[in-house]
Structure 1
Amino acid sequence: MFNRTNEAKVLRDPIHEYIHISYQVIWDCLNSREFQRLRRIHQLGGNFQVYHTAEHSRFSHSLGVYEIVRRMCYEVENINNSLNEFEKIQVMCAGLLHDLGHGPFSHMFESITQKSHEDITMELILDEKTEVHQVLKKEHTNLPNLIVSILNHSHPNQMLSQMISSQLDADRMDYLLRDAYETGTSYGKFDLERILRTLRVKDGNLCVKESGMHSIEDYIMARYHMYWQVYLHPDAKSYEILIELFIKRYQKIRNQIKIQSLELLFEPLTSDSFYLLDENRLFYSFQQALFCEDEELKDLANRILNRHLLSFKEDEKLNGHYQYVYIEQQMEQDYLPYHENKDPIWILNKNNECIPISKCSEIVKALLRMETKTKKRIFYN
């Protein structure tokens, strides 16, 4: 028997209306310092410089993922009957904690550290010094290891990993709806209720009834539009490039100029140092740089704080001399909303057979026929 809270905790949420917590381990994880740190990390990196209401955090998104997982566990009859109580706790914890390792401005930070947020997340969960590890271990000795096995897809019950990280998972379902709401766009909307109503389990895998296929098509198209209209917005990229250039410039001159709040970026990454690496620290560093002696660092800090973004051109050459030039190349294939050979979304037909959606959806077939090409942007001042 696992510990329950004295009374059900209910948190207001603009996407799910209410988030329900009834297990003490979930509540204690939420109150751990590693999870509270996520309040100080923007969900969308530099997009808040484009969409002025996109101020939401990794904290709110992680709670939303937990809530969708919780609903899967208890409202989808096949899943409810397939999992025991301990498996439900494992996957709900995994949903809540899956983004613990995100650094300042989310994915931008990974280009600086050359380390994925997934790896950092797992290290924090397994580190005996972290509060979140202690909370999990108090509930069950093996709980930290089991959660990590869900996140790295080595858990003996693969369905738990599918619920958190697949082509139809709670993570994507929450961030599409939440990011669309917070950016004031309609691109990311789809019928979550219909998807949950038509979710099934077949041979240990998640699938969707044939009658729910059109809701899945909407979900896939929502992801397509959100990537090209929001996530890959060139102005958001420009802002993140300025931060990257700022950090690289500081790294080059740090023997001559010291901004103490930035030094943490260049020390060995530990759970204690990572806890202090948030956006508040970087914004303070940008302010400090306004008064330093290096003109380039001052200029970059001013651009970041006052939104003087870099200009950009697509597939063109630059003529003349520029102080900052940054060339970004991306493959459209990387941002396809659906990949045929990667954890396919299964459709359960009337004969009780599971078929990949790419075989029965004309919309998905069309998306997979899209031409793959390289897109190049040149950012400059």
Structure 2
Amino acid sequence: MYEKTNEIKVLRDPIHGYIHVEDQVIWDCINAREFQRLHRIHQLGGDFQVYHTAEHSRFSHSLGVYEIARRMIYEVKSLNEALDEDEKIQVMCAALLHDLGHGPFSHFFESITHVSHETMTQRLILDPGTEIHQALVKAKKDLPQKVASIIAHTHPRLLLTQIISSQLDADRMDFLLRDAYETGTSYGTFDLERVLRTLRVCEDKLCVKESGVHSIEDYIMARYHMYWQVYLHPDAKSYELLIHMFFKRYMNIHTQIRPIPIFECLCQSELSTEDFLLMDEYRMMVGFQEALRSKDPLLKDFASRILDRHLFDWIEDPTEEQESEVKERIQQRNLDLNYYFYEETSRYQAYLPYQEREEGQMIWILTSKKELLPLSQCSEIVKALLKMPNKTKKRIYFAKEIGR
């Protein structure tokens, strides 16, 4: 038996009303140093530079994912019956801790350390020196390994992973609702209550009753619009690009200039656990402020652009003539093309809100005849989405002061 808290803890939340905690291991994890650090990591990377109210953190999102997973486990009767007590605790811990390894400015940080946030999350959970590991071990000796395996998609029972990471999971359901609310956009909303009411377990798979297809279509379209209107916003990308260029420059010249102590750990072959835990967005901002005094003009310039929001301009699908003209104007201003010009190509299919490439990642529909069918066989909207042509989109970014 897992220890319960002396009373049910409730945390007010704008999306879920209340977050409910009654398991001591969950409460201990919330209060652990590694989880509290998530207060200092923005949920949406550079989007807070576009949507000015998008100041929410990985901390609030992680609590929201936990709450949806908790509700799925205890409110979906067939799921409640399918899981034993150990598995319920494992899933709730995995939901709470799934983003523990995120660095500053969302996924950008992974391009510096070359370590995915999932890998870092598992490392923190399995490290005997972390408070998170100690909280889990205190509850049950093998709990860190079980939780880490759910996050790594290696747990022997796929159903547990589906709750946290699939096409219809607690993670996506929370971040869509939370990000829509915090950015002030309405098209990211969907009927969470209806989705929860129509969830079922069949053949040890998470699935949806046929009567719930329309609410799933609504959820899929919410994802589609949020990706193209919020997550892939070109100005958010521009802000993250400034940070990328700052560190590209710093890594190239840090041995030739007076180092910025805060950033020196990022120049090592591997970031230690302690250095990672100290590296939050507050610390990064202090480093950028220190760089304003750098003798290197490029480093100083990019630090200023980051702190004062002097974003790069951009052109979508430029002609060859436009691209050549932009490059020529950059060179006329004696700016280095390696730092003041950037080209990005993306494919539409990479950002489709739903795909059916792997069986474990499909949304399954439970028909009135008790058959399990892929969502695309039950929804004309989803079928049409999957047939979208794989168009290529090109965008160039450049220093705004050169003009268009």
Tell me the TM-score normalised to structure 1 length.
Answer: 0.99
* Alpha-carbon distance, 1:107 to partner: 0.6
Output aligned runs, 1:129-144, within 5 Å: 129-144=129-144
Q: Distance in 2 between matches of 1:87 and 1:273?
A: 33
- Check if 1:334 corresponds to 2:350: yes
Residue 293 (structure 1) aligns with: 295
Question: Cα deviations across residues 170-206 of structure 1 (Å, max 9, x unaligned)?
Answer: 0000000000000000111000000000000001000
- Check if 1:257 corresponds to 2:264: no
- Check if 1:373 corresponds to 2:361: no
Moved more, 329-338 or 19-28: 329-338
Residue 304 (structure 1) aligns with: 306
Decide whether the 8 Å contact of 1:53 with 1:183 is kept in 2: yes
Residue 315 (structure 1) aligns with: 317
Letter of the 1:259 counterpart: I
Decide whether the 8 Å contact of 1:125 with 1:132 is kept in 2: yes
Decide whether the 8 Å contact of 1:188 with 1:222 is kept in 2: yes
Decide whether the 8 Å contact of 2:188 with 2:223 is kept in 1: yes
Q: Distance in 1 between matches of 2:356 and 2:157?
A: 23
Decide whether the 8 Å contact of 2:42 with 2:56 is kept in 1: yes
Decide whether the 8 Å contact of 1:331 with 1:374 is kept in 2: yes
Q: Distance in 2 between matches of 1:110 and 1:172?
A: 20
Question: Cα deviations across residues 46-80 of structure 1 (Å, max 9, x unaligned)?
Answer: 00000000000000000000000000110110111
Residue 364 (structure 1) aligns with: 382
Letter of the 2:163 counterpart: M
Q: Distance in 1 between matches of 2:168 and 2:324?
A: 42
Output aligned runs, 1:191-202, within 5 Å: 191-202=191-202
Decide whether the 8 Å contact of 2:364 with 2:372 is kept in 1: yes
Decide whether the 8 Å contact of 2:5 with 2:22 is kept in 1: yes
Residue 99 (structure 2) aligns with: 99
Output aligned runs, 1:145-160, within 5 Å: 145-160=145-160
Decide whether the 8 Å contact of 2:177 with 2:188 is kept in 1: yes
Secondary structure of 1:318's match? helix
* Alpha-carbon distance, 1:14 to partner: 0.2
Residue 84 (structure 2) aligns with: 84
Structure 2: stretches of 5+ with no match in the other structure? 400-404
Letter of the 1:34 counterpart: E
Secondary structure of 1:132's match? helix
Q: Distance in 2 between matches of 1:310 and 1:35?
A: 34
Residue 402 (structure 2) aligns with: none
Letter of the 1:365 counterpart: K
Q: Distance in 2 between matches of 1:93 and 1:227?
A: 27
Decide whether the 8 Å contact of 1:264 with 1:277 is kept in 2: no
Secondary structure of 2:315's match? strand
Residue 21 (structure 1) aligns with: 21
* Alpha-carbon distance, 1:315 to partner: 2.2
Moved more, 113-122 or 91-100: 113-122
Q: Distance in 1 between matches of 2:112 and 2:371?
A: 46
Decide whether the 8 Å contact of 2:73 with 2:79 is kept in 1: yes
Question: Cα deviations across residues 113-132 of structure 1 (Å, max 9, x unaligned)?
Answer: 22211111111111111110
Decide whether the 8 Å contact of 2:346 with 2:393 is kept in 1: yes
Letter of the 1:327 counterpart: E
Output aligned runs, 1:50-61, within 5 Å: 50-61=50-61
Structure 1: stretches of 5+ with no match in the other structure? none
**Identity rate of aligned residues, in percent?**
65
Q: Distance in 2 between matches of 1:254 and 1:188?
A: 42
Question: Cα deviations across residues 230-278 of structure 1 (Å, max 9, x unaligned)?
Answer: 0000000000000010011111121122111111212331221110011
Decide whether the 8 Å contact of 2:346 with 2:394 is kept in 1: yes
Decide whether the 8 Å contact of 1:66 with 1:93 is kept in 2: yes
* Alpha-carbon distance, 1:314 to partner: 1.6
Q: Distance in 2 between matches of 1:143 and 1:318?
A: 57
Q: Distance in 2 between matches of 1:126 and 1:266?
A: 25
Output aligned runs, 1:203-214, within 5 Å: 203-214=203-214
Letter of the 1:35 counterpart: F
Decide whether the 8 Å contact of 2:288 with 2:307 is kept in 1: yes
Runs of 4 or more consecutive aligned structure 1 residues displaced over 2 Å after TM superposition? none
Residue 38 (structure 1) aligns with: 38
Moved more, 250-259 or 56-65: 250-259
Q: Distance in 1 between matches of 2:277 and 2:205?
A: 36
Q: Distance in 1 between matches of 2:61 and 2:189?
A: 16
Moved more, 362-371 or 250-259: 250-259
Q: Distance in 2 between matches of 1:328 and 1:288?
A: 30
Q: Distance in 2 between matches of 1:370 and 1:113?
A: 35
* Alpha-carbon distance, 1:151 to partner: 1.1
